[in-house]
Every structure is written in structure tokens, then in C-alpha cells.
Amino acid sequence: MKRFMMIFILIAGMAGCGTADENDSQPVKDETEQGAGEDISVQKGIVAGEMEPSLTKKDADGQMVYVYSVKNQTEQEKIFSFSSGQTIDYELRNEKGEIVYKDSKNKMYTQALQEITVKQGEAFSREIVLPKVESGSYTLTVWMTAKGDQDYKATAKVVVE
């Protein structure tokens, strides 16, 4: 019995350790402070009463960086609940529709409950640094991993030369 408990504690301790890259999803301030960038979002202007996802390309030195943002256009605060340290996920698909890269594949996240509150007129934003891939055209899809909520997907075309 003691051996079983020791193995269980060891496995549980290892499950809490992650391999997340620090550059993959860094919290950023509201996208208006991010500088010039090409907005390739699904925005429809200010729409009262909706949560508005967007995906904006950000100028970066030699890296392909995007800012995923969900703006609260409702009249109330929105609380997102997460069951782990992962708040977003994304994937790159090639022209054939095949998944070339998925961020959460082969990664582990901390197993901790967290809530993020987005006030009226504010945005939940994360910076995404895309991995290096072969030249070609891709579709980047980003979504929120909040528990029991919509995923607020945003999509952009990515061309790698």
C-alpha cells in the first residue's frame, strides 16, 4: 500500500510539471498598445452585446507573431474559467487542410483552476509566436480553452516565404 501511494504521489507531482515555451502565449496589454500591425480579424466594428474575437499580425524581427484578442462588447463583466494553465490553443493547417502544427500537442500545462475577468470594453489578449514551417500558405486558427464557454475562434491566412 505504501509503495502504491508513493508511486501515485510521484506521478501526480510529475503531471504538474509542464514543458510550455515561455514565448508561445505571453499575456499582452490591449491590442491598441501593440503598435502598427495588419488587422486580419473577424471584426465587424463595435457590436454591443457580443464578445468579439480578433487575430492581428504584429511586426516582429524575424518571427511571425500574432495577437489573439477577445474584446468584451457586452454590458457586463465576463468571467472565463480555466481548468489548467492553458488559456488558448492554436493550429496551423496547410492548403490541403492537414494540421501542420498544433500548439497543445506534446505539451503539459499546470493543473490549476483559474478565472480571468474581462471588464466591459476591455480585452483578453495573448501573443502567439508561430513556429518555423516550410514556405507556403497556411490557415492559423486560434481559440480560447475556457471551460463550459464558447471557444471564440479567430482565423487568419498566413503566407510563409
pLDDT tens-digit map of 25-41: 444 444 333 334 444 44
Q: What is the CATH number of the domain that holds 106?
A: 2.60.40.2360
98 within a domain of the structure (yes/no): yes
Q: Which amino acid is at 110?
A: T
11 within a domain of the structure (yes/no): no
50 within a domain of the structure (yes/no): yes
127 within a domain of the structure (yes/no): yes
At 148, is the pLDDT very low, low, confident or very high (cuts 50, 70, 90)? confident
* Domains held by the chain: number: 1
Residue 2's Cα: distance from chain center in Å?
A: 41
118 within a domain of the structure (yes/no): yes
* Buried b or exposed e, range 56-79, using 16+ CB within 10 angstroms: bbbeeeeebbbbbbbbbbbeeebe
From CA 42, how far away is CA 68, in angstroms rounded?
Answer: 11
Residue of 119, 107, 117 lying closest to 25 (CA atoms)? 107
What is the reported pLDDT for 38?
47
123 within a domain of the structure (yes/no): yes
14 within a domain of the structure (yes/no): no
Q: Show the domain range for 48.
A: 20-160
1 within a domain of the structure (yes/no): no
From CA 66, how far away is CA 133, in angstroms rounded?
Answer: 15
Q: What is the pLDDT of residues 54-76, one digit of tens each?
A: 999 998 888 899 999 999 999 99
From CA 45, how far away is CA 135, in angstroms rounded?
Answer: 33
